[in-house]
Structure 1
Amino acid sequence: MSRPYRIACVVAARPNLMKMAPLLRAFAPPESQVETVLVHTGQHYDADMDAQFFSTLELAQPDFRLEVGSASHAVQTAEVMRRFEPVLEQIAPTAVLVVGDVNSTLACALTAAKKAIPVLHVEAGLRSFDRAMPEEVNRVLTDQLSELLFTSEASGTTNLLREGIPAHRIHFVGNVMIDTLVRQLPLAPSAAEVLRQAHLAGFVRDGGHYALLTLHRPANVDDPLRLRALMQAMVKLSEDLPVLFPLHPRTRAMLQRHELAGMLDAPGIACLPPQPYLNMLGLMKHACMVLTDSGGVQEETTVLRVPCLTLRDNTERPVTVAEGSNAIAGRDASVILALCRDILRYGGKSGRVPQYWDGQAAGRVAAATTSWLQSRQERRP
């Protein structure tokens, strides 16, 4: 028996997969009234890493691959729209579900809205209030186009109400990415095993204490002065504490372009290739501190209750600071080092896990969506 509703679910990059996997499971039970169609835009695509993520997250292969690839923001957004429109015409979905804040999120939301197909936005309402971030523009516009908006923290609801979104369209459901973390954490390897795989066994001594660094945002890595300052801070930190650095391809390229790659040769810094999801969980879980410019890492360290320093001047996830283990360190090397030494001396804050970051958020999304779909059908003449 076919299901009465069909939702096109859009992913574009690995963080999207971690958010989408629990949503697809929540809509999958036999009694569900929703059929899902998975569309992978290919905005960020690495065949090997993509395959690993689909396997780890127990995801079926996408029904459609748009294979858009990298380009400027404008070109990429336009190309996603151009390739997504025929998919909508072919499958005629009841709604389109998007997650997060990448270019594909906005592009698919805009394409659906132009065709009068309702948009459902998971992780709505997050705001850094920094329009210089392309992701911030994507968030604001996607939310204005969306019919149902699912927020992961209370600030998201507050922001949406301030921006004129009617309260009945907003649902505070919690963090779907944490659903994946809760499910996968028991499978995460130890840090020692990850280092052994990377041929770095013995690099971390003295009880296994180390810092974990991730760095990839253009605002940090594309600016040579900013990148130099951050790397100088890491070299200095590595004199007191080993620093493990899974190196994003963009960051590696920028270090080479700006003639800063020599800093990676510091004896206390160990570079690793981009890591599979479970390996990253293992490295985060066992770190004594994490330094990052990633929004997702801020959330994951909050649930793992590992001290986190965000190498930015703001965050769109304020609950990780107000309640979690995160602190905004900015980009000044002296401030970053002072905060690191405080963590080494006093242990840093462990915080607490925010409301609804409990591994059940996707179920709340599915329940609210199904109820809305049924109500919408009943209102039709």
Structure 2
Amino acid sequence: MAKSNVICTVTGIRPDFIRMSEVFRKLDENFTHIMIHTGQHYDTMLSDIFFEELSLRKPDYNLCIGAEGRLHYDQQALLGPAIIKCLQENNIDPAIILFLGDANTSLASIPLKKEGYHIGHIEAGMRSGDEWMPEEINRVACDHVSSLLFAYHNDYVNNLMSENIPAHKVFNVGNTIVEVLNKVVDYSRKGAKNYILVDIHRQENVTDPRRMEAILDFCNALGSMLNLPLNMLQMPRTQTIMSEHRIKMRNIRFIPLMSYARYIEAVQDAAILISDSGTAQEEPSLLGVPVIVPRTATERPQAVVNGSTMLIDLTHQSLEDAVKFVHSYDASKIDNSWLGNGTASEKIIEILGKWCDK
């Protein structure tokens, strides 16, 4: 007996709105698509602007769980019940509920699975090997309760196979960011390459003042060695820790958050991107901008293997290695095939269609 034609998506943070944008569009065209915004990111520059810029319709429901000062466990306690209540009160009976990525929103997949809903996970199978990383906890949990797992690369498929997830659930569809980027970027634009762009916001960095200070020391030292100014995205949690602990920025200046298209231009204009973000290891590879990641592990090792990204441990040696990395970087030698061919959303829709017909 065929399943219903209703597909529900649950999304809550800036990168996920962007990476799901073409999936959203195609779901609207091919299914009865119910879009739920958890409200994990609620600031205009972290949420609303991306719907406007990417010409996405408004979500059907906004659960508003991301109020200022609300911690991850507070969000988690509210999120599962809020989604289930939304579905039940509005008589929504989806064939499957789709999540993307590894934000706190993805952990709502657990209570939903227990309630008997099928789960689908886009960006499945990524593993950094760091069991204490909050995102690692989220992505592993979501993978293991999913009926359909959409992976970006065969390495991620192999990760899932090694965890005994049945092969018939897993599909390599490529990375959803490629087609999104292709819609907003001018690849002929060379960019000024006259500053270092800094984006630091991960929990392990913005909750540890000593580590935050070490990262800024590294950034300032690299800027001095390369004679480049530094512009740092003004992320709320980053600004908070620096203000509370009076961490000096020295030669770094804050710049406001921006729309996706403007952010891509800012990356093009940068000589280097220093970021602790996972997703920030993807677009710069396609744009020919080297990325330095102040982390000990990454769930996107392909970016390191293919030479677009360098991991650093904030030692003096890592500073010297970073300078060598930047000077030797050659965009023409970067192999971006690990990101797929820009047809991820089409493949996801095709797989969902076949699955719903069973």
In structure 1, how many angstroms separate the alpha carbons of the residues matched to 2:13 and 2:246? 29
Is the Cα–Cα contact under 8 Å of residues 195 and 228 in structure 2 kept in the other structure? yes
Which one of 332, 335, 341 corresponds to residue 352 of structure 1? 335
Q: CA 1:72–1:305 in structure 2 vs 1: closer, same or farther (change >3 Å)?
A: same
Instruction: State the partner residue of 1:186.
Output: 186
Any idea what SS the aligned residue of 2:179 has? Answer: helix
Any idea what SS the aligned residue of 1:238 has? Answer: helix
Any idea what SS the aligned residue of 1:182 has? Answer: helix
Q: Which residues of 2 match residues 226-241 of structure 1 at below 5 A?
A: 226-239=211-224, 240-241=227-228
TM-fit CA distance, 1:62: 0.5
**2:246 maps to 1:259:** yes
Q: CA 1:185–1:163 in structure 2 vs 1: closer, same or farther (change >3 Å)?
A: same
Instruction: State the partner residue of 1:36.
Output: 33
**2:72 maps to 1:73:** yes
Partner amino acid, structure 2, of 1:237 = L
Any idea what SS the aligned residue of 1:28 has? Answer: helix
For CA contacts below 8 A with separation 6 or more, give which structure has more relative contact order. Answer: 2
Instruction: State the partner residue of 2:93.
Output: 92
Partner amino acid, structure 2, of 1:132 = W
TM-fit CA distance, 1:58: 1.1
Aligned residues: 349
TM-fit CA distance, 1:221: 2.2
TM-fit CA distance, 1:21: 0.8
TM-fit CA distance, 1:280: 1.1
In structure 1, how many angstroms separate the alpha carbons of the residues matched to 2:190 and 2:43? 25
Partner amino acid, structure 1, of 2:253 = A
| TM-score of the superposed pair, with normalisation by structure 2 | 0.92
Where structure 2 has 5 or more consecutive residues not aligned to the other structure, the ranges are none
Is the Cα–Cα contact under 8 Å of residues 215 and 247 in structure 1 kept in the other structure? no
Where structure 1 has 5 or more consecutive residues not aligned to the other structure, the ranges are 192-206, 376-381
Q: Which residues of 2 match residues 185-264 of structure 1 at below 5 A?
A: 185-186=185-186, 208-239=193-224, 240-260=227-247, 262-263=248-249
Is the Cα–Cα contact under 8 Å of residues 187 and 278 in structure 1 kept in the other structure? no
Instruction: State the partner residue of 1:291.
Output: 274
Q: CA RMSD in A?
A: 2.1
Q: CA 1:190–1:12 in structure 2 vs 1: closer, same or farther (change >3 Å)?
A: farther
Any idea what SS the aligned residue of 1:171 has? Answer: strand
Q: CA 1:57–1:335 in structure 2 vs 1: closer, same or farther (change >3 Å)?
A: farther
Any idea what SS the aligned residue of 1:186 has? Answer: coil
Any idea what SS the aligned residue of 2:28 has? Answer: coil
Is the Cα–Cα contact under 8 Å of residues 13 and 46 in structure 2 kept in the other structure? no
Q: CA 1:243–1:310 in structure 2 vs 1: closer, same or farther (change >3 Å)?
A: same
- The superposition leaves residues 228-254 of structure 1 with CA deviations (integer Å, 9 ceiling, x where unpaired) of 111111122222212121121111111
In structure 1, how many angstroms separate the alpha carbons of the residues matched to 2:155 and 2:318? 26
TM-fit CA distance, 1:12: 0.4
Is the Cα–Cα contact under 8 Å of residues 212 and 284 in structure 1 kept in the other structure? yes
Q: CA 1:116–1:16 in structure 2 vs 1: closer, same or farther (change >3 Å)?
A: same
Deviates more, 1:142-151 or 1:245-254: 245-254
Instruction: State the partner residue of 2:61.
Output: 64
TM-fit CA distance, 1:74: 2.1
In structure 1, how many angstroms separate the alpha carbons of the residues matched to 2:33 and 2:188? 28
Question: How high is the sequence identity, in percent, across the aligned residues?
Answer: 31
TM-fit CA distance, 1:348: 5.3
- The superposition leaves residues 258-317 of structure 1 with CA deviations (integer Å, 9 ceiling, x where unpaired) of 211x32x42xx3320122211110111232211110001011112223211111000011
In structure 1, how many angstroms separate the alpha carbons of the residues matched to 2:131 and 2:314? 18
Instruction: State the partner residue of 1:371.
Output: 354
TM-fit CA distance, 1:356: 5.3
Is the Cα–Cα contact under 8 Å of residues 20 and 99 in structure 1 kept in the other structure? yes
Is the Cα–Cα contact under 8 Å of residues 43 and 68 in structure 1 kept in the other structure? yes
TM-fit CA distance, 1:189: 8.8
In structure 1, how many angstroms separate the alpha carbons of the residues matched to 2:334 and 2:111? 40
Partner amino acid, structure 2, of 1:84 = I
In structure 2, how many angstroms separate the alpha carbons of the residues matched to 1:222 and 1:97? 30
In structure 1, how many angstroms separate the alpha carbons of the residues matched to 2:154 and 2:268? 26
TM-fit CA distance, 1:154: 1.8
Q: CA 1:258–1:278 in structure 2 vs 1: closer, same or farther (change >3 Å)?
A: same
Any idea what SS the aligned residue of 1:27 has? Answer: helix
Instruction: State the partner residue of 1:141.
Output: 141
Is the Cα–Cα contact under 8 Å of residues 103 and 138 in structure 2 kept in the other structure? yes
Q: CA 1:322–1:189 in structure 2 vs 1: closer, same or farther (change >3 Å)?
A: closer
Instruction: State the partner residue of 1:197.
Output: none
In structure 2, how many angstroms separate the alpha carbons of the residues matched to 1:113 and 1:336? 44
| TM-score of the superposed pair, with normalisation by structure 1 | 0.86
Any idea what SS the aligned residue of 1:130 has? Answer: coil
